[in-house]
A = this chain, B = another copy of it.
Amino acid sequence: MKIDMKQPILQKNDSIAAELRDRFAANHVYVVDLLASPGSGKTSTILATIDALRDEFNIAVIEGDIASSVDAEKIKAQGTAAVQINTGGACHLESAMIKRAVDVLDLERLDLIIIENVGNLVCPTDFDLGENVKVMILSVPEGDDKPLKYPGVFQAAQAVILNKVDTLPVFNFDREAFESSVKQLNPTAPIFSIAATKGDGVEEWATWLADKIRAIQ
């Protein structure tokens, strides 16, 4: 006998995610689930995104980590509400964790929630968190072959951010090969090239996101 463990876990996750999606919609809150490897610059990208959008929108961040709260501290230091979730070893966030985090946020007041998922290109892909979009970040040092090796996350994302493009001169990264692999897996997702810590290229990404937020308000 073979028992499929994944199916019931995902069903429970999806039903809580559907509840969350209704709550977000009722409050006109746009939600981004941000996926990437460890160290690809998720927190820096969030900080740069907040900088670009804070004048127009009220933003909160939900930080998912195995352990520690260093990322939430960085966000709070910038004056933005941040809720830390420690998964206690789990390799991805689930909708039940988001539900607990959302309960401490003032949804009525918010326009945008950015969820920073656990650094992992595999496990978070299957889990609906009630978000409007999944966005993934790949950083240049990780290499242009990652779409071939982790196709699932590139297919699940509605937008792809290529981060750390300021380091292209020091890495052997074939941008055309990367973009062509992404387009094959996901023909509709835009690819934004940024250097989050320097703010380069953030405007185009922030403009895309701002249009999405405005559309549900």
A91 touches B91 (CB 8 A): yes
Q: Which residues of chain B are near A38, meaning CB under 8 Å?
A: 37, 121, 142, 146, 149-150
What is the CB-to-nearest-CB distance from A99 to chain B, in angstroms, rounded to a whole number? 18
A148 located at the interface, meaning its Cβ lies under 8 Å from any Cβ of chain B in the complex: yes
Query: In the complex, what residues of B have CB within 8 A of residue A197's CB?
Result: 172
Q: Report the stretch among A45-53, A61-69, A102-110 that lies at the interface.
A: A61-69
Q: Nearest chain-B residue to A145 (Cβ)?
A: B70
- Asked if A187 is at the interface (CB within 8 A of a chain B CB), the reply is no
Give Cα distance in the complex from A90 to B172, angstroms. 28
- A15 close to chain B: CB less than 8 A: no
B149 touches A68 (CB 8 A): yes
Task: Indicate with 1 or 0, residue by residue over A110-122, a CB within 8 angstroms of chain B CB atoms.
Answer: 0000000011111
Query: Does A21 make an interface contact (CB < 8 A)?
Result: no
Q: What residues of B have a CB within 8 angstroms of the CB of A89 in the complex?
A: 122, 152
**Size category of the binding interface on chain A:** 35 or more
- Docked pose: A40 CA to B143 CA in angstroms: 9
Verify if A141 is at the interface (C-beta below 8 Å from B): yes
Residue A120 contacts which of B39, B120, B141, B170 (CB distance < 8 angstroms)? B120
Are A151 and B67 in contact, CB atoms less than 8 angstroms apart?
A: yes
- Write the nearest CB–CB distance from A163 to chain B, whole angstroms: 10
Q: Which of A120, A139, A151 has the most CB of B within 10 A?
A: A120
Whole-angstrom distance between the Cβ of A8 and the nearest chain B Cβ: 10
Q: How far is the CA of A8 from the CA of B148 in the complex (A)?
A: 32
Does A28 count as interface, using CB distance less than 8 angstroms? no
Which residues of A does B touch, CB under 8 Å? 5, 37-40, 65-68, 70-71, 89-91, 118-123, 139, 141-143, 145-146, 148-152, 164, 167, 170-172, 197
